[in-house]
Structure 1
Amino acid sequence: MLIPINVDKWNALSASEIEAIMRAHTALQQELRATGEFLAAHELAEEATFVRNNGTALTVTDGPFMETKEIVAGYYIVDCVDLDRAVEIAGKLGEARLWPIEVRRIDP
């Protein structure tokens, strides 16, 4: 599950709204640990390094670029029985009330 944030919208949230999102993460992680579905979850830094290889040289640039409004803020890796359960889990993320959570299967 990829958790995006819109930086402008996130910065406009009140402290109590952000706290509610963080409490939802804590509760969800406790639930997933109890069911054995939790594998990993991490917050990602806003800063990024972009690497391109044109076949002869690497180009490295810093990001995100100024025009970027959304970044990937974090992710969850869960081991659940099917997509329906993954969607149910994603719906419990506090951010799901603000913007879509991307759910993807990890190919073996």
Structure 2
Amino acid sequence: MNQYIIYFNQQWVGDHSDEWVVSRGPLANAVVEEMKDAGVYVFAGGLEDIDKAFSADATSGTLQITDGPFIATKEFLGGLTIVHVADDEAAKMWAGKLALACGWPQEVRRIG
């Protein structure tokens, strides 16, 4: 069994009405419940906006905590799900279910 992260960048969501985005919540929650029932669920959650981020950096030898993301970027993580499944095919299947429920792309990577 392996753990996989299924995630999306906020920019992949696209431009939709608030009503449309809210309507996707129950669909995504249903997939999460299906994951729990299947025994593959580890964690899932959306992230706060990037303007509420802060960073910890110790590369200089001294820890510095700063407001904002570590690096300015046009894309940022919007949400993630972690599953514990047998193989790549199972991870792809769950990512597909999330992509259909959410209405935007998902990317999958095995956690090493």
Q: Is TM (by shorter chain) over 0.5?
A: yes
Bin of the TM-score, shorter chain as denominator length: 0.7 to 0.9
Match of 2:92 in 1: 87
Deviates more, 1:67-76 or 1:44-53: 67-76
Q: How many residues align?
A: 102
- Flag the structure with more relative contact order, 1 or 2, with Cα contacts below 8 A and sequence separation at least 6: 2
Q: Secondary structure at the residue paired with 1:13?
A: coil
In structure 1, stretches of 5+ residues that fail to align are none
Match of 1:34 in 2: 37
Deviation of 1:54 after TM superposition, in Å, equals 3.0
In structure 2, stretches of 5+ residues that fail to align are 1-5
Q: Is the 8 A contact 1:40 1:78 kept in 2?
A: yes
Give the alignment partner of residue 69 of structure 1, picking from 68, 71, 74: 74
Could you tell me the TM-score, scaled by structure 2's length? Answer: 0.72
Match of 1:50 in 2: 55
Between the two proteins, what is the percent identity of the paired residues?
30
Cα 1:39–1:7 shift into 2, 3 Å: closer
Could you tell me the TM-score, scaled by structure 1's length? Answer: 0.74
